[in-house]
Amino acid sequence: MTIEGNALKPAWPAPDRVRAISTTRAGGVSDRPWNSLNLGVHVEDNPEHVQENRRRLAESLGLDSARIGWLNQVHGTEVVELTQSSVGQTAKADASYTRYPGIACAILTADCLPVILADRQGTVVGAAHCGWRSLSGGVIENLVSEMAVPPETLQAWLGPAIGPDSFEVGPEVRDAFIKHDPEAVHAFKAKGARSAHFMADIYALANLRLNHLGVYNVTGGGLCTVQNPDRFFSYRRDGQTGRMATLIWLN
């Protein structure tokens, strides 16, 4: 990935008409502890500050702010299609896709993994919010199914998320993934001989899900939100904090 201004751009072989970025915490107007480019409306930040941050984001991308498909994310597996009529409805979902140019799929995160997808022909794009619950529940599988193109034609990019050295989980998280796929055991390392907890690699878990679907062109990953406080928001690190956004759209 490359850094341009206050955003990260995927370094992936997507068609020219596919555009995507992942924001950092810099470049906005929010005060502490949301400083400064908080894009989440649900984290007790000043609503006027959030709207100004969203306006600045849309302007910097050359997008109509009303055509950014913000979601009410609930750590579930629901997927919505963003169309001319539905894009402003803030649906309760954790993934979206669109075939319409100028409409952006948007995912908010502050440790959870943002996953974006595009087909080689540049006809459809999608984005998924992958916390452990939505990822283990099948949000990526649902998104790929709804995009309705052969999985082998898709490419994926994994944005900033909590890294494997910071993501401590209980045995119920490990069990949820292994129950679905025994290979997932390799994405968990025991925290210690006296601990029942594990360190989880959410990038590896997402890669496994994508590969099993037939999506093998996967890039990104490796930027830990917890360990980069100057660049990223992190709920696990800070508790009350802001949200970054990962967007993908067709020109």
Q: At a CB cut-off of 8 Å and minimum separation 6, what does 86 contact?
A: 69, 80
Alpha-helical segments (H) within 1-78: 47-61
Phi–psi pair at 247, nearest 5 degrees: -125, 150
Q: How far apart, in whole angstroms, are the C-alpha atoms of residue 220 and residue 228?
A: 16
How many other C-beta atoms are found inside a 10 Å radius of the C-beta of residue 88?
Answer: 14
How many other C-beta atoms are found inside a 10 Å radius of the C-beta of residue 21?
Answer: 23
Does residue 230 belong to any structural domain of this protein?
A: yes
Q: Quote the tokens at residue 179.
A: 């129950």
pLDDT of amino acid 5: 64
Does residue 190 belong to any structural domain of this protein?
A: no
pLDDT of amino acid 169: 97
* Amino acid type, 90: T
The whole model's pTM is what?
0.95
pLDDT digits (tens, 9 = 90+) for 33-49: 999 999 999 999 999 99
Does residue 56 belong to any structural domain of this protein?
A: yes
Does residue 197 belong to any structural domain of this protein?
A: no
Does residue 16 belong to any structural domain of this protein?
A: yes
Does residue 195 belong to any structural domain of this protein?
A: no
Count of domains observed in the chain: 1
Q: How far apart, in whole angstroms, are the C-alpha atoms of residue 226 and residue 162?
A: 6
Does residue 177 belong to any structural domain of this protein?
A: no
Does residue 185 belong to any structural domain of this protein?
A: no
pLDDT of amino acid 134: 98
Q: What residue ranges of the chain have pLDDT lower than 70?
A: 1-5, 193-194
pLDDT of amino acid 36: 96
Q: How far apart, in whole angstroms, are the C-alpha atoms of residue 164 and residue 105?
A: 27
CATH code where residue 16 lies: 3.60.140.10
Which residue from 56, 43, 72, 46 is spatially nearest to 7, judged by alpha carbons?
Answer: 56
pLDDT of amino acid 149: 98
Alpha-helical segments (H) within 87-131: none
pLDDT of amino acid 192: 77
Domain range for residue 237?
2-162+213-250
Q: 167: left (phi > 0), else alpha (psi -120 to 50), else beta?
A: beta
Q: At a CB cut-off of 8 Å and minimum separation 6, what does 89 contact?
A: none
